[in-house]
A and B are shown apart, each in its own frame.
Chain A
């Protein structure tokens, strides 16, 4: 049985009085300890799927199951212990008036874990796990670079030791040089902790680097499901996937 199962998911927003059908019947299954990618251009509904899992988007049809159990309409604390998310923009996802210490301590405080000195020890450990020195502990987000902020955001997502990490374009707001570092950090953490990733990106190269299997999305629909080997063999059926792949290889060639 798959860890995350999404079955014929529909999400419809109300925007300016008109319904917007952002996700139209997407199904996928993510196995335990797998890294699964969702790729597509902006507006294809891939981030919306992550938000739907977290209860931040109005699900109008289909089902999301974790461990075979349908999610409660309101995500509870138990859900928070199992599923965490890393947001796209590290400039927006950290509270501007909280120190790194407060940001990382908050999940522990919410769940009543590790008080006093023990909490401090876990915060320093979490910083070390993402490659940040303890000297960053009492800094404010505006005193950090983009890459450092995203490391803090990753550390925060891991504070509750979840098994599933939802990654919403975790590197697209970072410089190219920092991107690779952040991706390698995520790969290392996944290997060390046996995490399951569901990762969204518009960049096929990133997904190819990170994921075992992927779904290509366009206009709210799943165009094609591929695994890593098929991608390597250029064994794709849908013409849209081929276009996306060609655009990525062209870009990489141009960069080299």
Chain B
């Protein structure tokens, strides 16, 4: 253990891998100093574990109906979070719903920020007419409220998780493009960019290899902070019946179906609501912590 530690904090690393691992270790130490960020990380790890181990953690089949035992209150025997209007176990549905939530989150994170990063850096680096064209396009997408635009896309493409993800990704990229462009504008005039240009590097190499690494931290922070919004939008689409379709145990959909009994059987809508709340909080706390770790302004010394 101490050998590994010494290897990580070695001031003269012997390989690029060791240098990168050392940087990650220092970042982790900074993150570990922030208890709230650790709580956030714990929540995300719990979400990942629930999704990975869903069949073992769940006490029942999430689709198994039992009309005799419908609308059981929490802490009733065998159903510690109660049952919904078809007698399905809410705990099992929540655990299986974690998979859907993660699926949506993962698909959005590999699309929207990447698109935003490319558009933002290209726009900021080239400037001029390219910048004007791309940024006006960004403005058009930014001018629409996200949920409304997502609604329009889903209405056009048809309901379903994949289309909901596509709609969210299409509406989520503009802020990343803005962040990346702002960051690009601050570095494009830097001497280290002038130096690599002077070495004969082409625009593609400069944007991908030299500009993007400077923008990635801000974009990652933004993504973690936006994750709560993405989950809420996905849940919102599910709630409106435009995202996941019944009988999928999607959290937004579960809230929608519990709405009818909110006053008498409050737990049917409240439990998935709490799950969304906790996961959103986890991403927000982690995002705040990551900002301290990754922000180039606080990290450069």
A residues sitting closer than 8 Å to B (CB atoms) are 54, 56, 75-77, 79-81, 84-85, 87-89, 92-99, 101-102, 106-107, 110-111, 133, 135-136, 138-140, 142-143, 153, 156, 159-160
B34 at the interface (CB under 8 A from A): no
Contact mask for chain B residues 198-217; partner A; CB cutoff 8 A; 1 contact, 0 none:
11110001000110011000
Given contacts A97-B213, A139-B12, A139-B13, contact A80 B199 (CB under 8 A): yes
Nearest 7 CB-CB pairs, A to B?
A: A135-B12, A80-B200, A77-B200, A93-B191, A138-B19, A138-B13, A92-B191
Complex contacts, A159 vs chain B, CB 8 Å: 199
Which of B19, B199, B214 has the most CB atoms of chain A within a 10 A radius of its CB?
B199
Given contacts A95-B210, A138-B19, contact A84 B13 (CB under 8 A): no
Contact residue among A96, A102, A107 (Cβ-Cβ distance under 8 Å from B199): A107
Whether B196 pairs with A106 at a CB distance below 8 angstroms is: yes
Given contacts A138-B15, A140-B23, A156-B195, contact A96 B201 (CB under 8 A): no
B residues sitting closer than 8 Å to A (CB atoms) are 11-16, 18-19, 23, 190-192, 194-196, 198-201, 205, 209-210, 213-214, 296, 300-301
Whether B201 pairs with A87 at a CB distance below 8 angstroms is: no
Complex contacts, B201 vs chain A, CB 8 Å: 106, 110
**Cα separation A156 to B201 with both chains bound (whole Å):** 14
**Cα separation A93 to B195 with both chains bound (whole Å):** 7
Given contacts A135-B12, A138-B15, A140-B23, contact A54 B198 (CB under 8 A): yes
* Nearest CB in chain A: distance from B237 CB, A: 37
Complex contacts, A136 vs chain B, CB 8 Å: 12
Q: Which residue in chain A gives the minimum CB-CB distance to B211?
A: A95
Complex contacts, A110 vs chain B, CB 8 Å: 196, 199-201, 205
Which of B191, B205, B301 has the most CB atoms of chain A within a 10 A radius of its CB?
B191
**Cα separation A111 to B18 with both chains bound (whole Å):** 27
**Cα separation A156 to B194 with both chains bound (whole Å):** 13
Whether B192 pairs with A94 at a CB distance below 8 angstroms is: yes
Complex contacts, B194 vs chain A, CB 8 Å: 54, 56, 87, 93
Complex contacts, B11 vs chain A, CB 8 Å: 139, 143
Complex contacts, B205 vs chain A, CB 8 Å: 110
**Cα separation A99 to B200 with both chains bound (whole Å):** 20
Chain A binding surface SS class: loop
**Cα separation A237 to B8 with both chains bound (whole Å):** 62
Complex contacts, A135 vs chain B, CB 8 Å: 12
Q: Which residue in chain A gives the minimum CB-CB distance to B19?
A: A138
Q: What are 30 A-B residue pairs whose CB atoms fall within 8 Å in the complex?
A: A54-B194, A76-B200, A79-B200, A80-B200, A84-B199, A87-B191, A89-B191, A92-B191, A93-B191, A93-B192, A93-B194, A94-B192, A95-B192, A95-B213, A96-B214, A96-B296, A101-B16, A102-B16, A106-B199, A110-B196, A110-B199, A110-B205, A135-B12, A136-B12, A138-B14, A138-B16, A143-B11, A156-B195, A156-B199, A160-B199
Complex contacts, B199 vs chain A, CB 8 Å: 80, 84, 106-107, 110-111, 156, 159-160
**Cα separation A140 to B18 with both chains bound (whole Å):** 12
Whether B192 pairs with A142 at a CB distance below 8 angstroms is: no
Complex contacts, B209 vs chain A, CB 8 Å: 106
Given contacts A97-B213, A101-B16, contact A80 B192 (CB under 8 A): no
**Cα separation A142 to B300 with both chains bound (whole Å):** 7
Q: Which residue in chain A gives the minimum CB-CB distance to B196?
A: A106
**Cα separation A56 to B214 with both chains bound (whole Å):** 22
**Cα separation A110 to B196 with both chains bound (whole Å):** 9
Complex contacts, B19 vs chain A, CB 8 Å: 99, 101, 138-140
* Nearest CB in chain B: distance from A48 CB, A: 13
Complex contacts, A98 vs chain B, CB 8 Å: 210, 213
**Cα separation A62 to B77 with both chains bound (whole Å):** 91
**Cα separation A216 to B32 with both chains bound (whole Å):** 56
**Cα separation A142 to B194 with both chains bound (whole Å):** 19
Whether B198 pairs with A99 at a CB distance below 8 angstroms is: no
Given contacts A92-B191, A96-B300, contact A85 B198 (CB under 8 A): yes
* Nearest CB in chain A: distance from B16 CB, A: 6
Complex contacts, A139 vs chain B, CB 8 Å: 11-13, 19
Which of A84, A95, A96, A153 has the most CB atoms of chain B within a 10 A radius of its CB?
A95
Complex contacts, B196 vs chain A, CB 8 Å: 95, 106, 110
**Cα separation A113 to B223 with both chains bound (whole Å):** 38
**Cα separation A216 to B70 with both chains bound (whole Å):** 93
Q: Which residue in chain A gives the minimum CB-CB distance to B209?
A: A106
Complex contacts, B198 vs chain A, CB 8 Å: 54, 56, 75, 80, 84-85
* Nearest CB in chain B: distance from A65 CB, A: 19
Which of A54, A96, A98, A111 has the most CB atoms of chain B within a 10 A radius of its CB?
A96
**Cα separation A160 to B214 with both chains bound (whole Å):** 25
* Nearest CB in chain B: distance from A73 CB, A: 15
Complex contacts, B296 vs chain A, CB 8 Å: 96
Whether B12 pairs with A87 at a CB distance below 8 angstroms is: no
Complex contacts, A80 vs chain B, CB 8 Å: 198-200
**Cα separation A92 to B196 with both chains bound (whole Å):** 12
